[in-house]
Structure 1
Amino acid sequence: MTSTVLVLHTGGTIGMVDTPDGAAPVAGALGPYLDWIVESSRGELPPISFLELDRPIDSANATPEDWCTIARILHERRDDHSGFVVLHGTDTMAYTSSALSFLLPSFGKPVVVTGSQIPIARIRSDGRQNLIGALQVAARPDVPEVTLLFGEVLLRGNRAMKIDASGLDAFDSPRFPPLARIGIDIEVNDALVRPRAGEPTLTAGQLGDVAAMRLFPGFSASTLANLCRPPLQGLVLEAYGAGNGPSDDRDFLAAVEAATARGVVVVIVTQCVRGSVQPGAYATGSALIRAGAVPGYDMTSEAALTKLAVLLGRGLDTETVTQMMQLDLAGELTA
């Protein structure tokens, strides 16, 4: 192992340049800026190795296959570097950081996902500061898990969510405290960092066929029934409040029951920014549980979706997946 940090550029705003159709990621455009930033730091930043996907993408085009590609690259190079920085677009950054935490269990080294709201080639870019913070965290041994760094916070990767489409503090973790504050110093909350447990493995194979749906007043049971047809294996249902749904709508509950009877794993999370699903707190929530849905507690939608896809992709039976969705595997939920 060397003391270098691997910087993997997958695309996103940080490496975009202006094109006739608007800003877009272009291969080869980001590397010179990274080299200049590291060289001009006069040793304050670690030496880096730079790797770029063959075709950097806007993260709006990211797919589960891209999550697996990133995970494979990190796993294959795990022993070659002290830490890793993944440069990624902000639109689906929380999905990727969540997925990596499940695809790379017990990785045992820092993996910092970051990006920017303004391309690094522009004078007011937030990309430089985010990159510098990510490199410094990746070079330290005290946060050996998948994280997301943006602005002044370092968040657990599977607890992060994008909260602002244009602000420079675009990410937050409302249901779990930041792992570190990025100020004059990097102040790590050691009590929150997960210790490495077990040998590093890679679970990046074929992922399960999953979807997410948000409840709203007047929600059509037929829409749910159509979505839950094969080949769907898992559904994240974003319910009201503490995990509630329309218990008076018998067709809706029948659709949930029919889906779970066919082996579709239905996981309930809350639409609220803060708080948790509380099984049994309300009759409207209990009706969903009786229909076969399982509580996702305080998991974000992004964490629940990616966790469900990874577990189902492992070929586990429905009962096992149902049980594991309610367990804390990578710090994604509060036991």
Structure 2
Amino acid sequence: MYQARKHIYIAYTGGTIGMMTSAKGGLTPQPGMLEDKLRSLPEFTRKDMPEFTLHEYPTLLDSSDMSPQHWGIIAADILANYAKYDGFVVLHGTDTMAYTASALSFMLPDLGKPVIVTGSQIPLTALRSDGHDNLLNALYLAAYHPCAEVGLFFNHKLLRGNRSTKVNTSGFDAFDSPNCEPLFRVGIDVEPVLPALRSLHAMQPEWQPVQNRAVAIMTLYPGMDFSLAQHLLEQDLDGLILQTFGAGNAPQQPEFLAALQRACERDIVAVNHTQCLRGSVNMGGYAGGNALRDCGLVSAVDMTLEATLTKLHVLLSRPGDKKSVAAMARRQMEKPLCGELTE
């Protein structure tokens, strides 16, 4: 019996995958090149591969220039084309790919179709490009092994988008999911590992808008000048991510703790995030963590920094006065919304 080929929408936002070496020697985006290259490769147009429509964004971005505004543009693009396609692939630069994958998961929380973010370390036109396998497999998985959530595909693994983080600047194994198994491993076989968050469905997903809120990230280190920290905490912030030691500990420096407490009392949502790649925040384990809980900080649990930042942006973008939004965000930060943390 004839079965229609799946049709996947590719949102090409920029990144190394579509770049070429310029006359000056650096890599630069080449408008129009990527689709021509894909159409010339027979493996992308085989009958056992899905059809694809590639939408090249008018301005191709280096991912270092990504912002919450761009996350909104990508989410709106997916929603505008949601009914027409079986799945979506977002081509993106690697530097902030995990931020965008995390943001999309919170902005489109009840997806019924796959959205896979991918890219490459070497341009598609170059010898030994990893972009070929990454894009081919992303298209194949979106069509024939669809997960109703946002994923990030790189180096033979489909990771949950809001569990992914960049761990290697130059290797093909650029991304990992330290506190969560991958959704799929792709080798000789396509091996499902982690169940998808929800069942596939065709209903239009709800959109959670995001705005660029005043969120700061403060990393603790030995010998820190706490007067600088106090100055930051006196600013008109909406949120703060405190990068702490170990299981969520900080120096018990009285002036610093007092400044943190005053910030929380001003409805700044302060989140305790460990600097460790693996493991979880536990503010009940040591005095240094207890003190932060007493100041009003909430736990990032075992979220990546990318998920913590984007989740905070999305929550702080919800309507309401600052006090009520802050109270809601504090409650929601410690709860799993779309698989981003371990209960």
Q: Same fold (TM over 0.5)?
A: yes
Following superposition, the deviation at residue 25 of structure 1 comes to 1.7
Following superposition, the deviation at residue 33 of structure 1 comes to 1.5
- Does residue 320 (structure 1) correspond to residue 323 (structure 2)? The answer is no
Q: C-alpha separation between the residues in 2 aligned to 1:175 and 1:329?
A: 16
Within the candidate set 115, 128, 147, 1:124 is matched to 128
Once the two structures are superposed, the pairs formed by residues 108-187 of structure 1 within 5 Å of their partners are 108-140=112-144, 142-187=146-191
Q: CA deviation digits over 1:85-112, x for unaligned, max 9?
A: 0000000001000000001110111000
- Does residue 284 (structure 1) correspond to residue 270 (structure 2)? The answer is no
Q: CA deviation digits over 1:2-28, x for unaligned, max 9?
A: 831001110010011112261022221
Task: Name 2:241's counterpart in structure 1.
Answer: 236
Within the candidate set 212, 220, 228, 1:223 is matched to 228
Change (3 A) 1:171 1:205: closer
Structure 2: which 5+ residue stretches go unaligned? none
Once the two structures are superposed, the pairs formed by residues 182-331 of structure 1 within 5 Å of their partners are 182-189=186-193, 191-196=194-199, 200-247=205-252, 249-316=253-320, 317-331=325-339
Q: CA deviation digits over 1:59-116, x for unaligned, max 9?
A: 0111111111101100111111000000000000010000000011101110000000
Q: C-alpha separation between the residues in 2 aligned to 1:53 and 1:231?
A: 34
Q: Percent identity?
A: 45
SS at match of 2:33: coil
User: How many residue pairs are counted as aligned between the two chains?
Assistant: 333
> Is the contact made by 2:116 and 2:151 (CA closer than 8 Å) also made in structure 1?
yes
Task: Name 1:42's counterpart in structure 2.
Answer: 46
Mean Cα deviation higher: 300-309 or 16-25: 16-25
Following superposition, the deviation at residue 272 of structure 1 comes to 0.6
Q: C-alpha separation between the residues in 2 aligned to 1:141 and 1:66?
A: 28
Task: Name 2:15's counterpart in structure 1.
Answer: 12
Q: TM-score if structure 2 supplies the norm length?
A: 0.93
Change (3 A) 1:119 1:299: same
Q: C-alpha separation between the residues in 2 aligned to 1:2 and 1:252?
A: 60
Within the candidate set 95, 100, 103, 1:99 is matched to 103
Following superposition, the deviation at residue 35 of structure 1 comes to 1.9
Q: C-alpha separation between the residues in 1 aligned to 2:341 and 2:313?
A: 16
> Is the contact made by 2:82 and 2:204 (CA closer than 8 Å) also made in structure 1?
no
Task: Name 2:85's counterpart in structure 1.
Answer: 81
Q: TM-score if structure 1 supplies the norm length?
A: 0.95
> Is the contact made by 1:2 and 1:81 (CA closer than 8 Å) also made in structure 2?
no
Following superposition, the deviation at residue 184 of structure 1 comes to 1.4
Q: C-alpha separation between the residues in 1 aligned to 2:189 and 2:58?
A: 36
Q: C-alpha separation between the residues in 1 aligned to 2:311 and 2:93?
A: 21
Q: C-alpha separation between the residues in 1 aligned to 2:334 and 2:234?
A: 24
Q: C-alpha separation between the residues in 1 aligned to 2:228 and 2:151?
A: 36
Q: C-alpha separation between the residues in 1 aligned to 2:112 and 2:80?
A: 14
Change (3 A) 1:64 1:2: farther
Q: C-alpha separation between the residues in 2 aligned to 1:21 and 1:235?
A: 40
